[in-house]
Amino acid sequence: MSELPYDRVKLARQSGRPTGLDYIRNIFKGFIELHGDRRYGDDPAIVGGLARLKGSPVTVIAIEKGHTARERSYRNFGAPHPEGYRKALRLMKQAEKFGRPVVCFIDTSGAYCGVGAEERGQGQAIAENLMEMSSLCVPVIAILIGEGGSGGALALAVADRVWMLQNAVYSVISPEGCASILWKDAAQAEAAAASLKLTAEDAKSLGVIERILSEKDIGKKEFYDRIQKLLVEEIDVLSKDLDLVGRRYERFRRIGADVLSKESI
């Protein structure tokens, strides 16, 4: 495990790490990919569909960065457009209809910044996901496997349980973006990374995630088996919760509330 937060950022971005599709293929069986948002198009940066987790059908959604240069370009480096978020929401609503749990794998530097993304309502697409996921009546588990870039990551992470890989990062802004805005110097990214508290340990101590997943044997069968076992156990627990939506509301409701001073209300 690396000590400097900025080293974690670099690790999280490393192209050798397993990508969303690797997790889907190794943890689940019989993945059937479902395409398109039914409104505009299909976004290759987000893959989703049906699969079996130890025999039971689940809806799986993953932000995919790709491995080779060609794949990475096809996947837009894991930076989704609004149609990606809308596809994800369509699949989550479908999961709700058929009573399937949802598992999301998140790995993005952020929602794509581009003219088309703005024209098609990037902000609106993310907002709608946040709103709708907050009341989804089936268990939702989100796992940050690499980069958790701001609203673009959160749009798949309004979940009952949020887990992070040991070297994944989760942040409101990239350290480079933060440094260039605050200190007008992107080279200060290292200092920004430390200040932003973006490591898995930070996220856990801030109450933003429940669990840190060890990266021992990352990419090997043992690694995926461990995650599979945790998912099966946790989905079992969540499926029995009669107040799932209420508890999800409270999960987010309390974040930040304890740091406030109330001089008068």
Q: Does 187 bind other proteins (CB under 8 A)?
A: no
186-198: buried (b, 16+ CB within 10 Å) or exposed (e) per residue?
eebbebbbeebbb
String marking each residue 85-124 x if it binds other proteins according to CB under 8 A:
--------------------------xxxxx-xxxxxxxx
191: helix, strand or coil: helix
- Locate 68 and state its tokens: 């080779």
Write the DSSP symbol of residue 199: B
Which range in 29-37, 46-54, 56-64, 202-210 contacts other proteins by CB under 8 A? 202-210
Q: Which of 32, 137, 182, 187 binds other proteins (CB under 8 A)?
A: 182
Which range in 35-43, 90-98, 99-107, 126-134 contacts other proteins by CB under 8 A? 126-134
Q: Does 249 bind other proteins (CB under 8 A)?
A: yes
- The residue written with tokens 């009669």 in the block is 242
Q: Does 197 bind other proteins (CB under 8 A)?
A: yes
Residue at 57: amino acid letter? P
Which range in 29-37, 178-186, 220-228, 231-239 contacts other proteins by CB under 8 A? 178-186
Of the CA atoms within 13 Å of residue 175, those in its CB half-sphere come to: 25
Q: Which residues contact 160 (CB under 8 A, 6 or more apart)?
A: 139, 140, 141, 238, 241, 244, 247, 248, 251
Beta bridge partners of 61: 48, 104
Which range in 27-35, 48-56, 64-72, 193-201 contacts other proteins by CB under 8 A? 193-201
Q: Does 137 bind other proteins (CB under 8 A)?
A: no
**Measured from the CB of residue 224, what is the shortest distance to other proteins in angstroms?**
27
* End-to-end Cα separation, the chain, in angstroms: 45
Give the C-alpha separation, 187 to 206, whole Å: 27
29: helix, strand or coil: strand
Judged by CB, which is closer to other proteins: 27, or 111?
Answer: 111
Residues that bind other proteins (CB under 8 A): 111-115, 117-124, 126-128, 130-132, 134-135, 150-151, 154-155, 157-158, 170-173, 177-178, 181-182, 191, 195-198, 202-203, 206, 208, 248-249, 252-253, 255-257, 259-265
